[in-house]
A = this chain, B = another copy of it.
Amino acid sequence: MPSDIEIARAATLKPIAQVAEKIGVPDEALHNYGKHIAKIDHGFIKSLEGRPEGKLVLVTAISPTPAGEGKTTTTVGLGDALNRIGKRAVMCLREPSLGPCFGMKGGAAGGGKAQVVPMEQINLHFTGDFHAITSAHSLAAALIDNHVYWANELNIDVRRIHWRRVVDMNDRALRAINQSLGGVANGFPREDGFDITVASEVMAVFCLARDLADLEERLGRIVIAETRDRKPVTLADVKATGAMTVLLKDALQPNLVQTLEGNPALIHGGPFANIAHGCNSVIATQTGLRLADYVVTEAGFGADLGAEKFIDIKCRQTGLKPSAVVIVATVRALKMHGGVNKKDLQGENLDALEKGFANLERHVKNVRSFGLPVVVGVNHFFQDTDAEHAKLKELCRDRLQVEAITCKHWAEGGAGAEALAQAVVKLAEGEQKPLTFAYETETKLTDKIKAIATKLYGAADIQIESKAATKLAGFEKDGYGGLPICMAKTQYSFSTDPTLMGAPSGHLVSVRDVRLSAGAGFVVVICGEIMTMPGLPKVPAADNIRLDANGQIDGLF
Q: Which residue numbers of A lie inside 8 Å of B, CB to CB?
A: 31-35, 42-43, 98, 102, 121, 124-125, 128, 131-132, 134-135, 138-139, 141-143, 145-146, 149-151, 165, 167-182, 185-187, 192-193, 212, 216, 239-243, 245-247, 249-250, 535-536, 538, 540-547, 551, 553, 555-556
A141, closest chain B residue (CB) = B171
12 A-B pairs whose Cβ atoms sit less than 8 Å apart in the complex: A102-B143, A124-B247, A135-B169, A138-B168, A139-B542, A143-B542, A145-B173, A151-B538, A175-B186, A177-B177, A242-B546, A243-B542
Report how far A1 CA is from B70 CA in the complex, Å.
Answer: 61
Decide if B169 touches A186 in the complex (CB within 8 Å). no
Report how far A193 CA is from B180 CA in the complex, Å.
Answer: 10
Report how far A146 CA is from B542 CA in the complex, Å.
Answer: 11
Q: Which residues of B contact A31 (CB under 8 A)?
A: 33-35
Decide if B179 touches A149 in the complex (CB within 8 Å). no
Q: Which residues of B contact A193 (CB under 8 A)?
A: 182
Report how far A546 CA is from B249 CA in the complex, Å.
Answer: 10
Name the distance in Å between A128's Cβ and chain B's nearest Cβ: 4
Decide if A172 touches B150 in the complex (CB within 8 Å). no
Number of copies: 2
Most buried by B among A142, A169, A172, A241: A142
- State whether A545 and B131 are in contact (beta carbons under 8 Å apart), knowing that A178-B181, A179-B173 are contacts in the complex: no
Q: Which residues of B contact A98 (CB under 8 A)?
A: 135
Most buried by B among A32, A542, A551: A542
Q: Which residues of B contact A138 (CB under 8 A)?
A: 167-169, 171
- State whether A173 and B151 are in contact (beta carbons under 8 Å apart), knowing that A125-B132, A181-B178 are contacts in the complex: no
Q: Besides the contacts A125-B132, A149-B535, what 15 more A-B pairs have beta carbons closer than 8 Å?
A: A32-B33, A98-B135, A138-B168, A141-B169, A143-B540, A145-B172, A146-B535, A172-B186, A173-B179, A176-B186, A177-B177, A242-B542, A242-B543, A249-B547, A249-B551
Decide if A547 touches B212 in the complex (CB within 8 Å). yes
- State whether A547 and B246 are in contact (beta carbons under 8 Å apart), knowing that A135-B168, A542-B239 are contacts in the complex: yes
Report how far A131 CA is from B138 CA in the complex, Å.
Answer: 13
Decide if A125 touches B250 in the complex (CB within 8 Å). yes
Q: Which residues of B contact A547 (CB under 8 A)?
A: 212, 216, 242, 245-246, 249
Name the distance in Å between A253's Cβ and chain B's nearest Cβ: 10
Report how far A172 CA is from B172 CA in the complex, Å.
Answer: 22
Name the distance in Å between A283's Cβ and chain B's nearest Cβ: 14
Report how far A397 CA is from B282 CA in the complex, Å.
Answer: 67
Report how far A239 CA is from B169 CA in the complex, Å.
Answer: 16
Decide if B149 touches A172 in the complex (CB within 8 Å). yes
Decide if A174 touches B169 in the complex (CB within 8 Å). no
Most buried by B among A141, A143, A171: A171
Name the distance in Å between A75's Cβ and chain B's nearest Cβ: 27
Most buried by B among A32, A165, A216, A544: A32
Name the distance in Å between A130's Cβ and chain B's nearest Cβ: 9
A541, closest chain B residue (CB) = B243
Q: Which residues of B contact A240 (CB under 8 A)?
A: 542
